[in-house]
Chain A
Amino acid sequence: MSEASPAKAYALHLGVIALLFALSFVLPAYHHGLLARIMVLAVFAMGYNMLFGYVGLLSLGHAMFFSAGLYGAGLTVYHFGWSVPAAFAAGLACGALLALAIGLLALRTSGVAFMIVTMMFAQVFYLVILYFAAWTGGDQGLVVPQPARILVLGSASLDLTNPTVRYMSALALFSIVLLVTLAIVRSRYGRVLVAIRENEGRTKMLGYDTFSNKLAAVVVSGAICAASGAAYALLFGYVGSSFASVQYSILPLLWVLLGGIATTLGPLIGTLFMYYVVDVTSGYTSAYLLIVGIALILLVLFFPKGILGTIRQRWLGWLP
Chain B
Amino acid sequence: MMPLLTTKGLSRNFGGLRAVDGVDFALMPGEIRAVIGPNGAGKTTFVSLVSGRIQPSSGMIVFDGADITSLPAYARVRLGVAYTFQITSVFANLTAYDNVALPVQRTLTDGRSKGAVHAGVMAALERTGLADRAHMQAGHLSYGHQRLLEVAMGLALKPRLLILDEPTQGLADSEIDNFIGLVREIANSATVLLIEHNMPVVMQLADRITVFNAGRILAEGTPEQIRANAEVQDAYLGATHG
Could you list which residues of chain A lie within 8 angstroms of chain B, going by C-beta atoms? 1-4, 188, 191-192, 194-195, 198-199, 201-210
* B118 contact set on A, CB distance < 8 A: 3
Q: Do A199 and B95 have beta carbons less than 8 Å apart?
A: no
Picked from A4, A188, A204, A206, the residue with its CB within 8 Å of the CB of B153 is A206
> Is there contact, CB below 8 Å, between B157 and A207?
yes
Known contacts A3-B118, A188-B117; A207 and B94 CB within 8 A of each other = no
For the complex, give the distance between the alpha carbons of A199 and B150 in Å. Answer: 14
B98 contacts partner chain A, Cβ-Cβ < 8 Å: yes
Known: A194-B94, A195-B91, A198-B91. Contact between A203 and B102, CB under 8 A?
yes
Contact, CB under 8 Å: A207 / B103: yes
Binding site for A on B (CB under 8 A): 51, 53, 72-75, 77-78, 83, 85, 89-95, 97-98, 101-103, 105-107, 109-110, 117-118, 135, 153, 157
The answer to whether B89 and A202 touch across the interface, beta carbons within 8 angstroms, is yes
> Shortest CB–CB separation between residue A55 and chain B, in angstroms?
14
A206 to B117, CA, bound (A): 15
A206 lies within 8 A of B94 (CB): no
**Smallest CB gap from B150: residue in A:** A202
Given that A1-B98, A3-B97, A188-B117 are contacting pairs, would A207 and B91 also be in contact in the complex, using a CB cutoff of 8 Å? no
CA–CA, A188 and B121, complex, Å: 13
**Contact partner, A192, options B83, B92, B95, B102, Cβ 8 Å:** B102
User: Are A202 and B91 within 8 A (Cβ)?
Assistant: yes
A188 CB contact (under 8 Å) in B77, B105, B135: B105
Q: Say whether, besides A205-B51, A206-B106, A191 and B93 are in contact (CB < 8 Å).
A: no
CB distance from A316 to the nearest CB of B (A): 16
Q: Say whether B91 contacts A204, CB under 8 Å.
A: no
What's the minimum C-beta distance from A184 to chain B, rounded to whole angstroms?
A: 15
Closest to B76 in A: A207
Structural contact, A209 and B105, CB atoms closer than 8 A: no
Q: What is the chain B residue whose CB lies nearest that of A210?
A: B74
- CB neighbours (8 Å) of A208 from chain B are 74, 102, 106
Quick check: A191 and B102 within 8 Å, CB to CB?
Answer: yes
Partner of B94, one of A198, A201, A204, A210: A198
Q: Nearest Cβ in chain A — how far from B148, in angstroms?
A: 16
Contacts A195-B91, A198-B91 known; A204 to B98 CB distance under 8 Å? no
Given contact pairs A1-B94, A199-B89, A202-B89, A207 touches B101 in the complex (Cβ within 8 A): no
Residues of A contacting B73 in the complex (Cβ-Cβ under 8 angstroms) = 204-205
* Distance to closest chain A CB from B228 (angstroms): 37
User: How many Å from the CB of A1 to the closest CB on chain B?
Assistant: 6
* Interfacial chain B residues near A202, Cβ < 8 Å: 85, 89-91
Closest B-chain residue to A1, C-beta based? B98
A204-B105 contact given A1-B98, A198-B94, CB 8 Å threshold: no
